[in-house]
Amino acid sequence: MRLTTSGESHGKGLFAILEGVPAGLTLDLNRIDGALSLRQGGYGRGGRQKIEKDHAEVMTGVRNCVTLGSPLTLAVFNRDFENWKPYMAPEGCDTSARRLTRVRPGHADLTGMIKFHTDDARNVLERASARETAARVAAGAVCVQLLEALGIQIRHYVRSVGSVLDEHIYPFETLGKKSPVLGMMDAEAEQRAVELIDHARGEGDTLGGTVELRVHGFKRGFGSCMTYREKLDARLVAALMSVQAVKGAEVGEGFRLSALPGSLAHDEIFFDEQRGYYRKTNRAGGIEGGMSNGEELVLRAAMKPIPTLMKGLQTVDTDGNVPARAAAERSDVCAIAACGVILESALAFELCSVVLEQLGGSNMREIAARYREMP
Judge contact between 351 and 236, C-beta under 8 A: yes
Burial class (CB in 10 A: 0-12, 13-18, 19+), 165: middle
Cα 375 to Cα 35, 149, 205, 245, 319, distances in angstroms: 32, 18, 50, 38, 62
Name the phi and psi angles at 238, rounded to 5: -60, -40
Instruction: Please report how the helices 133-149 and 364-373 are oriented relative to each other, as an axis angle in degrees rounded to 10.
Output: 60
Q: What is the pLDDT of residue 328?
A: 81
In the chain, the percentage of residues whose pLDDT exceeds 90 is 94
Torsion of CA 338, 344, 349, 352, to 10 degrees: -160
Domain ranges of the chain: 2-373
Contacts of 8 (CB under 8 A, 6+ apart): 88, 126, 127, 129, 131
Mean pLDDT, range 211-230, rounded to an integer: 97
pLDDT at 305 over 70: yes
Q: Would you tell me how many other CB atoms lie within 10 Å of the CB of residue 227?
A: 8
Which class does domain 2-373 fall in?
alpha beta
Judge contact between 155 and 343, C-beta under 8 A: no
Instruction: Please report how the helices 133-149 and 29-40 are oriented relative to each other, as an axis angle in degrees rounded to 10.
Output: 130
pLDDT per residue over 165-201, tens digit each? 999 999 999 999 999 999 999 999 999 999 999 999 9
Q: What is the pLDDT of residue 50?
A: 61
Q: What is the pLDDT of residue 49?
A: 61
Spatial distance between the Cα atoms of 362 and 68, rounded to a whole number of angstroms: 10
Q: What is the pLDDT of residue 48?
A: 59
Q: Would you tell me how many other CB atoms lie within 10 Å of the CB of residue 342?
A: 29
DSSP per residue, 267-283: --EEEETTTEEEES--T
Judge contact between 157 and 182, C-beta under 8 A: no
Mean pLDDT, range 240-250, rounded to an integer: 98
CA 109 to chain centre: 21
Spatial distance between the Cα atoms of 269 and 273, rounded to a whole number of angstroms: 14
